[in-house]
Structure 1
Amino acid sequence: MNGKTAPSTRRVAVVTGATGGIGQALVRHMIARDYSVILLSRQTGRDMPGVTAITCDLTDTGSIHQAASTIMKDAPRIDVLVHCAGVISPQNVGQLDSTTIARQIAVDLTAPVELTNYLLPAMGRGGHIVFVNSMAAIFPLAGSSVYTAAKFGLRGFARALEQELRPRRIQVSSIYPASVNTPMLSREMESGGSIYNFIDPPQDPDITAKRIMQCCERSSREVFSSVFDKAFTHACLFSMKLLNLSLPTMRFLGRRGYRAYRRRQPPQDMG
């Protein structure tokens, strides 16, 4: 023995939004599969085996750069980068405020672009970048135009990046979850969020986390919750007429689903 420590064979994953509902479930699955996880968050939580937490404000490019520098110093090889962070603040155009616009664009679009740019030199052949996008990247949401614009932009960035990195054998994937039952969804609806979230019952975060985990370990470009979701949303992209004809039915299904969702919620403690 020469006294040197053998390099770790564990796959290294960097995850944003790891303290959210989907992100927490994803980190649990990664730990169970023996990943070494580096999570970025504004809030530092309890230490967990196999997890390194780095404080990072995704609305601040300086903070992103500092976090990326720390990662590159401590983990010179990155196998998986998952952009799971997201924020939505429903507001109608004409009533938008600059702070809300800037925050959504920063977290939902600028931060993934910046972080990918900083960390890409640490990724080699066999690496995988996963963008947790939204159905809003395909299906425009009235009342959430800024979020929709950011997610459309993120889809475009991912598609272009995939072409750039194909010669380097680095995979780029985007996942488009259906509505997920998280605190983010509750906050969205309290602010006047889209009723289309409830056309189907919101999924448990663990279901989406498992799909992301599968995405991290398979060769895939765009992953949807169902074949119907993929086919219908893409059809609406090509035909505004189809979109407009579908809206009344979708609103009806969404309102019915939302009423059912509200009935299932536990009563509020009035004490």
Structure 2
Amino acid sequence: MPIATARFDGKIALVTGGSSGMGLATARRLLDEGAQVVIAARGKPGLDAAVEELNAGDRVHAVSADVADSSDLDGLVDVIAAQHGRLDVVFANAGVGAFAPITDITEAELDRVISTNFKGVFLTIQKTLPLLADGGAIVVNSSWAVHRGVPAASLYSATKAAVLSLAQSLAAELAPRKIRVNSISPGYIETPSYRANVSDAAKAAAVQAVAAGRLGTSEDIAAAVAFLASDEASYLNGQDLLIDGGLIAAIPATML
């Protein structure tokens, strides 16, 4: 459904992890609101499919890049600089799930998850900052799991807590440039990855735990990111927005 606003006319946005799920929905939302969007992800076939689905002509550009790879990010920045000369919005969204008891986590797995979920976000912001216009906006994707202990999520939650803290620190550090930095903490969001990796029984249990009585959608996340990146959120800085249907703050009536 078309969005009846043009909050991002003339704006240039980067969405990492932009080929599916929350990233793809956010790219679509920003395009609908007038932005030109660069989507980055590791797999070229997925990026090609995303560009075709977005159907936005030369207003969307896809770049294959692994955020955990510094040279890939350098290449991404070079493409953005050559094509657009600047950025106004960065959605540091790329990340991986990792769920296992701490006793089962290998050093290789530790390195893999930290490299994408923390190092990748850190480097994405660090390397795009020279292109980010004063008064721009950065949104970082954290997780509801940082607000509540979750079994078998120690590694995942720790990396997501790290990027939430990073967002808060950068909100202070970048304030002289009027760059706002906020984070989002999605709850149970029915992305393609969630559908593929979570059993029907676990999905039903998740719904029962959410006061809203449903799983979230990628479009729910996109709407929140667009708000935080827009001028309507000009006095929001260093904040974490829980988009979880009440999972953390509210007890469903069915559980009483």
TM-score, normalized by the shorter chain, greater than 0.5: yes
Counterpart pick for 1:189 among 179, 188, 198: 198
> 2:227 — aligned with what?
214
| C-alpha RMSD of the superposition | 2.7
State the shift of 1:194 in Å.
10
Question: Percentage identity across aligned positions?
Answer: 23
Residues 98-113 of structure 1 aligned to structure 2 (within 5 Å) = 98-113=107-122
Cα distance in 1 between the residues matched to 2:72 and 2:122: 14
State the shift of 1:115 in Å.
1.1
> 1:23 — aligned with what?
23
State the TM-score, normalized to the length of structure 1: 0.75
Question: In the alignment, does 2:78 pair up with 1:69?
Answer: yes
CA gap of 1:80–1:34, structure 2 versus 1, over 3 A, is same
1:17–1:86 Cα contact (<8 Å) kept? yes
> 1:160 — aligned with what?
169
> 1:125 — aligned with what?
134
State the shift of 1:89 in Å.
2.0
CA gap of 1:194–1:160, structure 2 versus 1, over 3 A, is farther
State the shift of 1:168 in Å.
1.3
Local SS of the residue matching 2:68: coil
2:187–2:245 Cα contact (<8 Å) kept? no
2:13–2:38 Cα contact (<8 Å) kept? yes
Question: In the alignment, does 2:153 pair up with 1:144?
Answer: yes
State the shift of 1:215 in Å.
1.4
CA gap of 1:65–1:196, structure 2 versus 1, over 3 A, is farther
Counterpart pick for 1:94 among 103, 108, 113: 103
CA gap of 1:87–1:188, structure 2 versus 1, over 3 A, is farther
Which amino acid in the other structure matches residue 173 of structure 1? Answer: N
CA gap of 1:230–1:126, structure 2 versus 1, over 3 A, is farther
> 2:6 — aligned with what?
none
Which amino acid in the other structure matches residue 163 of structure 1? Answer: A
2:117–2:159 Cα contact (<8 Å) kept? yes
Aligned residue pairs, count: 227
State the shift of 1:133 in Å.
1.3
State the shift of 1:183 in Å.
2.0
Which amino acid in the other structure matches residue 224 of structure 2? Answer: R
State the TM-score, normalized to the length of structure 2: 0.79
Local SS of the residue matching 2:129: helix
Bigger fraction of residues in strand: 2
State the shift of 1:227 in Å.
9.2
> 1:223 — aligned with what?
241
**CA deviation vs aligned residue, 1:92-137 (integer Å, no higher than 9, x gap):** 1111123332222122111110011011011232100001211122
Higher gyration radius (CA): 1
Cα distance in 1 between the residues matched to 2:204 and 2:166: 28
Cα distance in 1 between the residues matched to 2:245 and 2:25: 24
Which amino acid in the other structure matches residue 166 of structure 2? Answer: F
> 1:40 — aligned with what?
40
State the shift of 1:180 in Å.
0.4
Cα distance in 2 between the residues matched to 1:188 and 1:105: 21
Local SS of the residue matching 2:133: coil
> 1:173 — aligned with what?
182
> 1:241 — aligned with what?
none
Local SS of the residue matching 1:76: coil
Q: Which stretches in structure 2 are left out of the alignment for 5+ residues? A: 1-8
2:18–2:41 Cα contact (<8 Å) kept? yes
Which amino acid in the other structure matches residue 242 of structure 2? Answer: F
CA gap of 1:67–1:138, structure 2 versus 1, over 3 A, is same
State the shift of 1:156 in Å.
0.9
1:14–1:80 Cα contact (<8 Å) kept? yes
Cα distance in 2 between the residues matched to 1:17 and 1:120: 18
Cα distance in 2 between the residues matched to 1:83 and 1:76: 19
